[in-house]
């Protein structure tokens, strides 16, 4: 058993909890969803999740309910609770009997985990909302809409998290952006990307890294590290492939050597060719797109009618390393 499963699910159910706030490393506070908390005072928050001897409990100081976290989760979201018990079962099935000795070192950094509070996830927007339609047009799978957000004033909001990140001059040209949160394996927020909705905007993506974060990799909370992992250039592209991470820009810091690197199919882009050269030299396996693929990225392939299976097959049939990768890269650049 490990407490990081509990902490993960506390973060996962936070969007269901009104005025959710992490007070300390092992203490969370919000309005009690069971009794509805104070009717008169909408800001009163008397529900608490707390830790005691590596176990997590819920208590409300309004209705006096006291229970363990599992039963609380079951009450507020049977679906999440099902995932939670499955995950617990799997963790135990791996043979971790002794609670005390198997606990990972607790290095949870709670400071940034409430930053998405109050922002609308795309899944809550009306069907005809432009932000939702933007994702629909790109054929992004709907199941990811709840993990993507709309921020109406991206720079102003970023300045509330990282003060003075944007100058007051640039705040005058603030605009809505799609927010793509980056989470680590424990579901801590380590950064995010803001994607512009305006095709004429110069800065298509703005990437923000939280203080103290070393490697900014997208999708770590989802991948199965026991299976083959792909790593692509864009977070949105990664949503089309199974077990796929994305980097922000062409920075491979922290990407495991076992990952298959899949960059965009832009043969004239010097930065991409240089990046491929570098990762090949460093020993990674890379996908060198065959000449038959004309699209410049995975999203375009999907829009042109290729399926996830088609794309995985192309990648798997065109993955190279070492000298062979160098040779294929030189051919690819020539076309
Ligand atoms: Zn209550």
Is residue 107 scored above 70 in pLDDT? no
pLDDT value for 51:
87
For residue 7, the CA-to-ligand 1 centroid distance in Å is 21
The string of pLDDT tens digits covering residues 125-174 is 999 999 999 999 999 999 999 899 999 999 999 999 899 999 998 898 89
DSSP state of 151: E
pLDDT value for 109:
52
Task: Name which residue leads in pLDDT, 236 or 187.
Answer: 236
**Residue 274: HSE in the Cβ half-sphere, 13 Å Cα cutoff:** 5
From the number of C-beta atoms within 10 Å of its C-beta (0-12, 13-18, 19+), residue 65 rates as: middle
**What is the pTM assigned to this prediction?**
0.69
Is residue 96 scored above 80 in pLDDT? no
Is residue 101 scored above 70 in pLDDT? no
For residue 254, the CA-to-ligand 1 centroid distance in Å is 43
For residue 71, the CA-to-ligand 1 centroid distance in Å is 14
For residue 64, the CA-to-ligand 1 centroid distance in Å is 6
Euclidean distance between CA atoms 192 and 330, whole angstroms: 34
The string of pLDDT tens digits covering residues 191-250 is 999 999 988 888 899 999 988 888 899 999 999 999 999 999 999 999 999 999 999 889
Is residue 108 scored above 70 in pLDDT? no
The two most distant CA atoms of the chain are separated, in Å, by 71
For residue 21, the CA-to-ligand 1 centroid distance in Å is 16
Helix (H) or strand (E) holding 29: strand 27-30
Residue 128 near residue 158, CB atoms below 8 Å: no
């Amino acid at each position: 058993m490990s407490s990081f499963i509990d902490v993960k699910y506390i973060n996962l159910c936070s969007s269901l909890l009104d005025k959710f706030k992490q007070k300390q490393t092992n203490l969370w506070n919000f309005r009690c969803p069971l009794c509805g908390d104070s009717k008169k005072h909408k800001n009163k928050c008397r529900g608490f999740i707390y830790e005691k001897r590596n176990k997590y409990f819920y208590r409300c100081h309004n209705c006096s309910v006291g229970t363990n976290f599992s039963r609380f989760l079951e009450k507020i979201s049977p679906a999440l609770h099902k995932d939670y018990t499955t995950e617990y079962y799997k963790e135990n099935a791996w043979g971790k009997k002794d609670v005390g000795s198997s606990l990972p070192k607790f290095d949870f950094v709670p400071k940034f985990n409430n930053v998405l509070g109050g922002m609308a996830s795309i899944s809550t927007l009306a069907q005809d909302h432009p932000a939702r339609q933007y994702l629909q047009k790109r054929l992004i799978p709907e199941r990811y809409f709840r993990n993507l957000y709309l921020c109406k004033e991206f720079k102003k909001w970023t300045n509330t998290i990282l003060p003075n990140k944007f100058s007051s001059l640039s705040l005058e040209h603030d605009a809505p952006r799609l927010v793509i949160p980056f989470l680590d394996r424990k579901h801590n927020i380590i950064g995010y990307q803001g994607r512009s909705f305006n095709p004429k905007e110069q800065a298509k993506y703005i990437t923000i890294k939280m203080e103290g974060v070393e490697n900014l990799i997208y999708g770590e909370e989802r991948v199965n590290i026991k299976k083959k992992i792909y790593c692509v250039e864009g977070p949105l592209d990664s949503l089309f492939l199974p077990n796929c991470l994305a980097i922000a820009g062409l920075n491979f810091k922290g990407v495991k050597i076992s990952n298959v690197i899949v960059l965009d199919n832009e043969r004239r882009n010097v930065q991409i060719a240089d990046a491929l050269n570098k990762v090949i030299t460093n020993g990674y396996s890379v996908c060198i797109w065959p000449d038959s693929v004309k699209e410049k990225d995975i999203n375009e392939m999907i829009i042109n009618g290729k399926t996830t299976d088609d794309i995985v097959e192309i990648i798997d049939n065109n993955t190279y390393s070492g000298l062979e990768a160098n040779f294929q890269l030189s051919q690819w650049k020539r076309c």
